[in-house]
Chain A
Amino acid sequence: MTTYTATVTVRLKRGVLDPEAETTKRALERLGFELSALRSADQFEIDLDADSADEAEARVDEMAERLLANPTIHDYDVGVTEA
């Protein structure tokens, strides 16, 4: 068994309105920054023991599918590194 750290990034699907990101963008603009777009995402880091990176990724993928992301509105990425 090897200990891996998986990183799950959950973001809204393209085209789904993100009012919090819009509000944050406006706040940055009020501070005088120039930017053309701002997107927000949630990131989760998960430590787990698995026989291989593939196994770790498969398990974390299921975690994302079933809880961390809501597939109706979210896309997500899973990255795995040895801890």
Chain B
Amino acid sequence: MTVAVITFGGSNCDRDAVRSLAHVGVEAERVWHEDGLPADVDGVVLPGGFSYGDYLRAGAMAAHSPIMRDVRDAADDGVPVLGVCNGAQIGCESKLTPGAFTTNASARFQCESVHLRVERADTPWTAAYDAGDVVEIPIAHGEGRFEITEERYDDLVAEDRVLFRYCDSAGNITEKANPNGSRGNVAGILGERESVAVMMPHPERATLPDLGRSVDGQGVLSAFV
């Protein structure tokens, strides 16, 4: 089982992702985007960071880099693909997932631990949890506000494609618990296939016990096991 963690110029969570995947027993390696996606990968992670300096819009440049064609083909073949933070922005910009992640309502970069409510537990990404569980995973982004037209948001909900919502520690979905103004407190969503997911919080930063904080992110990464 080898997962490709794709490094773009400006990615900076790629090493963390490899280490955290190794911790949950998943062999992973960084792949430089210009080298293309190895043919035999069993999974893809689009890591966090600031690919191409967030030029134009966060994720917009990386979304159109040639390797993303390989990633889309792999996703169409059922290969699991996870986009985290900048990887989530790339996922939406490349239309792997619907909507867009744009400037936080606060207009500030926010780096903090947040609570997420697991909306579905019957996906590879959330099989380690129960629906309604509250997990603690950090965010670190300036452009994490999930935006989508009302009509498409309704479709997303009707299709049950919301994975995580920002909540308080008791699991209540409130405006106060919404760190960035995301529509519906959405923190993570599924693509058209359940094997494709993007999320703004960083599961790889909540995996290694040595960090002395929540390890709730392990469940997400365990999808690749």
Contacts and interface: CB of A to CB of B under 8 A. Distances in A.
Interface of A: 16-20, 22-23, 67-68, 70, 72-73
Given A17-B181, A19-B106, A68 B56 contact: yes
Contacts of A73: 100, 102, 147
Contacts of B225: none
Given A20-B107, A70-B57, A73-B147, 9 more contacts: A17-B181, A19-B103, A19-B104, A19-B181, A67-B64, A70-B93, A72-B147, A72-B149, A72-B152
Nearest to A68: B56
A3 B50 CA distance: 35
Contacts, number: 35
Interface in B67-100: 92-93, 98-100
24 contacts: A16-B147, A17-B105, A17-B145, A17-B181, A19-B103, A19-B104, A19-B106, A19-B181, A20-B103, A20-B107, A22-B107, A23-B107, A67-B56, A67-B60, A67-B64, A68-B56, A70-B57, A70-B100, A72-B99, A72-B100, A72-B149, A72-B152, A73-B102, A73-B147
Interface string B166-209: 00000000000000010000000000000000000000000000
B24 interface: no
B121 interface: no
Chain B interface bracket (under 10, 10 to 19, 20 to 34, 35 or more): 20 to 34
B150 to A, nearest CB: 9
B148 interface: yes
Nearest to A16: B147
A4 B13 CA distance: 43
A68 B61 CA distance: 10
Interface in B109-162: 145, 147-149, 152
Nearest to B102: A73
Contacts of B181: 17, 19
Closest 6 CB pairs of A and B: A19-B107, A72-B100, A23-B107, A19-B103, A73-B100, A73-B147
Given A20-B103, A20-B107, A67-B56, A72 B145 contact: no
Nearest to B63: A67
Contact of A70 (B60, B103, B105, B106): B60
A18 B107 CA distance: 9
A30 B105 CA distance: 20
A18 B149 CA distance: 15
